[in-house]
Chain A
Amino acid sequence: MKLLSAAAMEVTELPDWLAAGGGAALERAVSDPTGVIPEIEAAGLRGMGGAGFPAHRKWQAVAEQRAPQKWIICNGNEDEPGTFKDRYLLAHTPHQVIEGALIAAVATGATHVVLYANPHDEHTIPRLEAAVAQWRGHARFQRLAQVLPQPPELRVHATSGLYVGGEETGAIAAVTGGFPFPRHKPPWPAHDGVHGAPTLINNIETLALATHALRLGAEHFRALGRTAPGTKLYSLSGDILRPGLHELPMGTPLAELIDDHGGGMLGGRPFKAVFTGGPSNTLLTAADRDVALDFDSLRAHGSRLGTGAMIVIGEGTSIVRRTAEYIAFFANGSCGQCPPCKIGTHQAARILERIEEGAGQPGDLEALENLVAVLPGSGRCGLVDGAATVLASSLATFRHEYERAIDV
């Protein structure tokens, strides 16, 4: 993370990370364990996996528990279309993530830290294993025994790569040992997580940011953002000249992200919409070009920041085809526990595929609208809600494209 620390880019060796100023935040945590959570709260750090839930509240909830075991899951299941930030952090600069996880362990009294990482990128797991081995053998890691009964068990767990495995309770099921079936909440993970123990689950980017919030101090960290604290990794893709991962001040306006950092629309084509990460939210359209990309501003615009993925759509790209692709992704990702989700997402995907392939029928759009009306809230996790949201939004805003696809 360049804005936070130039040296945090592309550092895979622990000595390099420490030489560049890494480790200071962990030292601070070890010297003042009870001061960590107030500092994280003061920094305004929020969950970067999509929900934007204040990080300190999760940490506090686990810290308050009295239990022989406490777990931390560093959630790197990242699998959704258009999001590619966590895999970058894990494969290219894992130490800031691990340091953040160890800080959380100090603050919460965790006994186990699991780096729960998606193996789809072939580099992720080997590099993470190497990084973990470097920490385990290092004096700084052993020094955690000063504030914890012993240094936590630190290990890597390759995820199934399935979308539901990124849901908190799905991750708990996977780390406990099994298929990542999500379950109802409550009980909340802070009370009943891995093997029934209190469990903290944070996104990879959140943990990396925690390191920098503590290293820089809350005030400095907050000041890095524009409309909200800190920085954000925006995964920019689609019809723009320079797609890629951009770390920018939280609250950078959409137009600035596209035009200044993304080099503008590809080939100068007119802007149509943005699917935000991911992609499970209401589409942003031309009316939203000036919106600040932070959790609260986007919510006020009726959408969500999500993972910070911005899939930009220009003229010439079909909203129908993109939506069909994403709904098919959710249908394939549905674990099948909740019948409305399993049947509903598959039915929506089937109808969309039919429309996309020129076999749409009269009544198909009404059937889709009916589905998006009845499906939300019917699943144990948020999968079906996200699918319904993006489908409803795309139907409402670009209904003419659907009609045209059926018409031909």
Chain B
Amino acid sequence: MTAAGVEHALALRRWAGRAPAEPVATPLSTEELLGGFHPDHRPEARTTLRVGASAGLACPAGLAELLQANALVEDIDIAGAPVRRADVLVVGAGAAGCVAALSAARQGARVILANKLRIGDGNTVMAEGGIQAAVGGDDSLQRHFDDTLQGGHAAADPELVSALAGDGPAAIHWLMGEGMAFDRMADDADAEDTLARLRVGGTSAARLLSYRDFTGLEMMRALREAVLLQPEIERCERHVALELLTDAHGRCAGAVFYDLLRDRLILVRAGATVLATGGAGRLHLGNSATSNHYGATADGLVLAYRGGARLRELDSFQYHPTGLAWPHHLDGMLITEAVRALGARLVNGTGERFVDELETRDVVAAAILRELSAGRGIERDGQHGVFLDTPTLVQEQPRILATRLVTVDRLARRAGIDPSREPLLIAPTLHYQNGGVAVDADGHTAVPGLLCAGEVAGGIHGRNRLMGNALLETVVFGRRAGAAAVATARSGPLHHVGLGHLGDWQRQLINAELPLDMRSPRLFPPYGHTDIAGRVEQLRASRQ
């Protein structure tokens, strides 16, 4: 879809010689821009789910293949596998998982926090810009609610948005209690309003709270320490969730894990299970670059769907407008939206601005893709993008790289670029799964005993997420799901725990003439050479 762009050196000369630009009126309406250029709308990438609780739902083909697949394990594999027990099992240890585990543990539950890699290995640490919460005197919960619902094109569940916005200030308070640091307004003497706030794309008030440009990392630091200090949380790192366990009535009863360190299966049985497994970027749907971490392979969606959960807005992904497009080995690495919020502009190969940089992410991303498809992009070593004009920003705010954009500066220098002298080549990068597992305001899914929190859950952001709402979501819904999981875990005993749901699932696949030998979840991207499916088969063969 990318036409040949303007050669990099020529584009640089045009950029250097351009006139001070005014905001550009977009010649297309938002709908035309999104419909014509946003990756969600590429027809070849979409299909419709044929089996499961959300049969009929539109879905990217690459994801549908995994959702409508057979499990990696079968009943006989778990015979003789060790079993650990907990009240609450939390799968995934990014922010949402850690917050859920902490919340459950503090209500007296025995918690197992299991995750694919290590605690904090996830997208949380990559959230640079900040976290939204309506704490300002000039802001309100209602405005946060309105901005979020409108930003998501009114597709979100208002009840979930209400929970998100309503719990926002309490979530910030809670994070401070966990020891997280926030940027302060140094020159403000008003003791009740000392948090630095920034107005960002799609919002009507200065609402973004931050810590430098590594807010997520700071948040994860505080959460990780809290988890390590919470004695009721048993940690199972490098445990790869392969399948949910269910009981005779279809209630979720824990999960089957592959223990990467010991090369064996283990079962965790729990009265309630919280999936906090994050997103799907590393599926590289439509061959997209991604800002996501290595483990973001939609495992939670796959497990929940096979367990009987409903999904929503699966065809809606957020492409962050400013992923690094050059050099190739850093393709997709994120450059925070804060750069644009602070005033940096986007410039195409003809030296022109082409969009209001403070539009919502989907609009900015679609506008960049329009430039690329029209041949107004910039080509460098076969990579395509547009310029993020950091040198002009540094001219206007000389200390900005050292004070607010530390990570951007570091990333640019890793790319061999001095961002105060040369604009960065950027292009949209698959950043966030807007949809996910359908949940209620406490994170309950349609499957009894199964809850979801964080990016894996859907319905909070509608069809587009506002900057800063992802970090807030992890805390708000992590706390809600953690508390709800404790109540759920105490709702009665489990009988005949196993993989009973797979029989009916396989019948559905057969009746829909879908292949049983397609297996999921994917767990790791193929270039990682961590073939869990192969290892599970080896284990099975060794026991024949």
The closest CB in chain B to the CB of A406 belongs to B80
Within 8 A of B (CB), among A312-367: 315-318, 320-321, 325, 355-360
For the complex, is B421 an interface residue (Cβ under 8 Å from A)?
no
Contact present for A358 and B507 (CB under 8 Å): no
B14 CB to closest chain A CB (Å) equals 61
Interface bits B186-203 vs A (CB < 8 Å: 1, else 0): 000000000000000000
Contact present for A358 and B83 (CB under 8 Å): yes
The closest CB in chain B to the CB of A238 belongs to B503
Contact present for A316 and B82 (CB under 8 Å): no
Determine the chain A residues whose CB is within 8 A of the CB of B75 once the complex forms: 316-318, 321
The answer to whether residues A408 and B81 also contact, given A266-B503, A318-B76, A321-B75 and a CB cut-off of 8 A, is yes
Q: How many residues of A contact B (CB 8 A)?
A: 26
Complex partner residue of A316 from B76, B81, B507, CB under 8 angstroms: B76
Contact present for B74 and A316 (CB under 8 Å): yes
Interface bits A175-186 vs B (CB < 8 Å: 1, else 0): 000000000000
B317 CB to closest chain A CB (Å) equals 33
Determine the chain B residues whose CB is within 8 A of the CB of A288 once the complex forms: none
Interface bits B482-501 vs A (CB < 8 Å: 1, else 0): 00000000000000101000
A52 CB to closest chain B CB (Å) equals 28
Complex partner residue of A267 from B82, B516, B543, CB under 8 angstroms: B516
A309 to B498, CA, bound (A): 21
For the complex, is A10 an interface residue (Cβ under 8 Å from B)?
no
Determine the chain A residues whose CB is within 8 A of the CB of B264 once the complex forms: 408
Determine the chain A residues whose CB is within 8 A of the CB of B503 once the complex forms: 238-239, 243, 266
For the complex, is B16 an interface residue (Cβ under 8 Å from A)?
no
For the complex, is B406 an interface residue (Cβ under 8 Å from A)?
no
A355 to B83, CA, bound (A): 11
A404 to B506, CA, bound (A): 26
For the complex, is B79 an interface residue (Cβ under 8 Å from A)?
yes
Contact present for B80 and A408 (CB under 8 Å): yes
For the complex, is A9 an interface residue (Cβ under 8 Å from B)?
no
Determine the chain A residues whose CB is within 8 A of the CB of B506 once the complex forms: 266-267
Within 8 A of A (CB), among B248-262: none
The closest CB in chain A to the CB of B80 belongs to A405
For the complex, is A401 an interface residue (Cβ under 8 Å from B)?
yes
In this complex, the member of B79, B267, B496, B543 whose beta carbon has the largest number of chain A beta carbons within 10 angstroms is B79
The answer to whether residues A401 and B79 also contact, given A239-B503, A316-B74, A408-B264 and a CB cut-off of 8 A, is yes
Determine the chain A residues whose CB is within 8 A of the CB of B4 once the complex forms: none
Q: How many B residues touch the partner, as a band?
A: 10 to 19
Contact present for B510 and A317 (CB under 8 Å): no
For the complex, is B222 an interface residue (Cβ under 8 Å from A)?
no
B536 CB to closest chain A CB (Å) equals 13
In this complex, the member of A243, A355, A404 whose beta carbon has the largest number of chain B beta carbons within 10 angstroms is A404
For the complex, is A154 an interface residue (Cβ under 8 Å from B)?
no
Contact present for B507 and A356 (CB under 8 Å): no
The closest CB in chain A to the CB of B498 belongs to A321
Contact present for B74 and A321 (CB under 8 Å): no
B456 CB to closest chain A CB (Å) equals 28
Determine the chain B residues whose CB is within 8 A of the CB of A404 once the complex forms: 79-80, 543
For the complex, is B58 an interface residue (Cβ under 8 Å from A)?
no
A323 CB to closest chain B CB (Å) equals 10
Contact present for A321 and B78 (CB under 8 Å): yes
A356 to B82, CA, bound (A): 8
Determine the chain B residues whose CB is within 8 A of the CB of A241 once the complex forms: 507, 510
Contact present for B507 and A320 (CB under 8 Å): no
A407 to B510, CA, bound (A): 34
A293 CB to closest chain B CB (Å) equals 22
A9 to B349, CA, bound (A): 75
Within 8 A of B (CB), among A352-408: 355-360, 401, 404-408
A55 to B462, CA, bound (A): 65
Determine the chain B residues whose CB is within 8 A of the CB of A406 once the complex forms: 80
B525 CB to closest chain A CB (Å) equals 28
A332 to B455, CA, bound (A): 42
Within 8 A of A (CB), among B74-102: 74-76, 78-83
Contact present for A325 and B496 (CB under 8 Å): yes
Determine the chain B residues whose CB is within 8 A of the CB of A360 once the complex forms: 80
A241 to B513, CA, bound (A): 13
B498 CB to closest chain A CB (Å) equals 6
Within 8 A of A (CB), among B105-137: none
The answer to whether residues A266 and B507 also contact, given A317-B74, A318-B75, A325-B496 and a CB cut-off of 8 A, is yes
The closest CB in chain A to the CB of B75 belongs to A317
Interface bits A46-68 vs B (CB < 8 Å: 1, else 0): 00000000000000000000000
A330 CB to closest chain B CB (Å) equals 14
A274 to B510, CA, bound (A): 22
The closest CB in chain B to the CB of A267 belongs to B516
Determine the chain A residues whose CB is within 8 A of the CB of B543 once the complex forms: 404, 407-408
A95 CB to closest chain B CB (Å) equals 30
B60 CB to closest chain A CB (Å) equals 26
Contact present for A358 and B80 (CB under 8 Å): yes
Contact present for B496 and A320 (CB under 8 Å): no
Determine the chain B residues whose CB is within 8 A of the CB of A318 once the complex forms: 75-76, 78-79
The closest CB in chain B to the CB of A315 belongs to B76
A11 CB to closest chain B CB (Å) equals 29
Complex partner residue of A358 from B74, B76, B81, B498, CB under 8 angstroms: B81
Determine the chain B residues whose CB is within 8 A of the CB of A405 once the complex forms: 79-80
Contact present for A407 and B516 (CB under 8 Å): no
A340 CB to closest chain B CB (Å) equals 25
The answer to whether residues A321 and B516 also contact, given A266-B503, A266-B506, A316-B74 and a CB cut-off of 8 A, is no
Contact present for A359 and B82 (CB under 8 Å): yes
Interface bits A241-261 vs B (CB < 8 Å: 1, else 0): 111000000000000000000
A360 to B79, CA, bound (A): 11
Determine the chain B residues whose CB is within 8 A of the CB of A325 once the complex forms: 496, 498
Contact present for A355 and B507 (CB under 8 Å): no
Complex partner residue of A320 from B74, B79, B82, B267, CB under 8 angstroms: B79
Determine the chain B residues whose CB is within 8 A of the CB of A267 once the complex forms: 506, 510, 516
In this complex, the member of B75, B82, B83, B267 whose beta carbon has the largest number of chain A beta carbons within 10 angstroms is B75
Determine the chain A residues whose CB is within 8 A of the CB of B507 once the complex forms: 241-242, 266
Contact present for B496 and A356 (CB under 8 Å): no
Contact present for A317 and B76 (CB under 8 Å): yes
The closest CB in chain B to the CB of A268 belongs to B516
A316 to B79, CA, bound (A): 10
Determine the chain B residues whose CB is within 8 A of the CB of A315 once the complex forms: 76
A406 to B498, CA, bound (A): 18
Determine the chain A residues whose CB is within 8 A of the CB of B82 once the complex forms: 357-359
Determine the chain B residues whose CB is within 8 A of the CB of A355 once the complex forms: 80
Within 8 A of A (CB), among B498-523: 498, 503, 506-507, 510, 516
A242 to B504, CA, bound (A): 10
A4 to B338, CA, bound (A): 76
For the A-B complex with A267-B510, A318-B76 known, give 12 more contacts whose Cβ atoms are closer than 8 Å.
A238-B503, A316-B74, A316-B76, A318-B78, A356-B79, A357-B82, A357-B83, A358-B83, A404-B79, A404-B543, A405-B80, A407-B80
Q: Which 9 A-B pairs have the closest CB atoms?
A: A405-B80, A318-B79, A358-B82, A316-B74, A357-B83, A318-B76, A317-B75, A408-B80, A405-B79
Some 9 contacts from A to B, beta carbons below 8 A apart, are A241-B507, A267-B516, A317-B74, A318-B78, A321-B498, A356-B79, A359-B82, A404-B80, A406-B80
